[in-house]
């Protein structure tokens, strides 16, 4: 009995020790958890103060985004697609304009009797930046452009033949032919960006306007052609810097 009791006491002691260790472990973990929570909480609290600096006129950098789905056309003169303002005492502004730029060109040619037929379609999207109404360097930039030309010389599709002169033989000249036709359509969309620069600014609030232009031209003989340019999402990032000289 005494042996059993001794084992029992040892077992209880062992269990108590194990509980103590477990409790210590839990406390330690909880503390670590609290510490890490506190740290991440502090980091989150700091973010708004370090992450600010966009969209406000007093900042040195400003950004704007836009979804310009309206511009899907044949021809549009320079039209403002994004506007932002920036207050700066620096003389130079760097304007990084990124844009989704799409083109659609379609050409159809048709002919018969060995006649050559040609159709062309051209489309382009150009961008320029105005700072206080003045064009920023390097001026007008082509973001996407394509010229497509399609030519074909066809014999024609045989429709019917008759012995028109009644000489018992049918010649090719006594047959009717319909036009053979060929079409090609290309539709593409790409994103690209370009850096614009303006210098010699006076201190104060400046207005930045991004303008886009869509140009198209088509030619066709017997066939037809179609050309369109389109603009998707756009973003502009303007930073004010002292330019190294």
Instruction: Report the residue from 2, 167, 173, 202 that binds Ca ion according to the rule CB under 5 A.
Output: 167
Written as six digits, the tokens of 100 are 């989704």
- Residue closer to Ca ion by CB (options 114, 167) is 167
Q: Which is nearer to Ca ion, 75 or 163 (CB)?
A: 163
* Residue with the shortest CB distance to Ca ion: 163
Smallest separation (angstroms) from Ca ion to the CB of 172: 10
Q: Which is nearer to Ca ion, 49 or 167 (CB)?
A: 167
Interface with Ca ion, residue 176, by CB under 5 A: no
Structure token pair of residue 31: 């503390």
C-alpha 233/C-alpha 63 separation (Å) is 14
Binding range to Ca ion, per CB under 5 A, among 36-44, 98-106, 142-150, 155-163: 155-163
**Long-range pairs for 41-46 at CB < 8 Å and ≥24 separation?**
none
Q: Which position among 27, 163, 176, 199 is part of the footprint of Ca ion (CB under 5 A)?
A: 163
CB-nearer residue toward Ca ion: 48 or 167: 167
Pairing of strands 92-111, 157-161: unpaired
Q: How far is the CB of 159 from Ca ion (least distance, A)?
A: 17
Does 27 bind Ca ion (CB under 5 A)? Our answer is no
Query: CB under 8 Å to 54, separation ≥6 — which residues?
Result: 61, 62, 63
Rounded CA-CA distance 197/155 in Å is 56
The Cα–Cα gap between 217 and 51 comes to 46
Instruction: Point out which residues bind Ca ion (CB under 5 A).
Output: 163, 165, 167
């Amino acid at each position: 009995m005494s042996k059993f009791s001794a084992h029992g006491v040892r077992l209880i002691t062992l269990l108590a020790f194990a509980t103590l260790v477990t409790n210590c472990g839990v406390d330690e973990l909880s503390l670590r958890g609290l510490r890490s929570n506190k740290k991440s909480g502090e980091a989150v609290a700091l973010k708004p103060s370090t992450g600010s600096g966009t969209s406000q006129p007093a900042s040195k950098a400003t950004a704007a985004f836009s979804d310009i789905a309206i511009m899907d056309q044949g021809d549009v003169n320079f039209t403002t697609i994004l506007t932002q303002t920036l207050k700066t005492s620096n003389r130079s502004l760097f304007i990084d304009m990124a844009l989704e730029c799409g083109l659609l060109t379609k050409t159809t040619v048709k002919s018969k009797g060995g006649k050559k037929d040609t159709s062309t379609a051209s489309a382009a999207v150009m961008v320029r930046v105005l700072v206080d109404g003045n064009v920023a360097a390097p001026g007008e930039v082509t973001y996407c452009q394509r010229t497509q030309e399609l030519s074909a010389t066809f014999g024609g599709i045989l429709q019917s033949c008759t012995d028109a002169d009644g000489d018992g033989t049918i010649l090719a000249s006594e047959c009717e032919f319909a036009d053979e036709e060929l079409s090609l359509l290309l539709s593409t969309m790409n994103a690209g960006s370009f850096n614009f620069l303006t210098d010699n600014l006076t201190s104060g609030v400046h207005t930045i306007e991004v303008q886009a232009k869509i140009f198209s031209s088509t030619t066709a003989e017997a066939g037809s052609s179609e050309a369109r340019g389109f603009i998707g999402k756009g973003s502009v990032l303007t930073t004010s810097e002292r330019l190294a000289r």
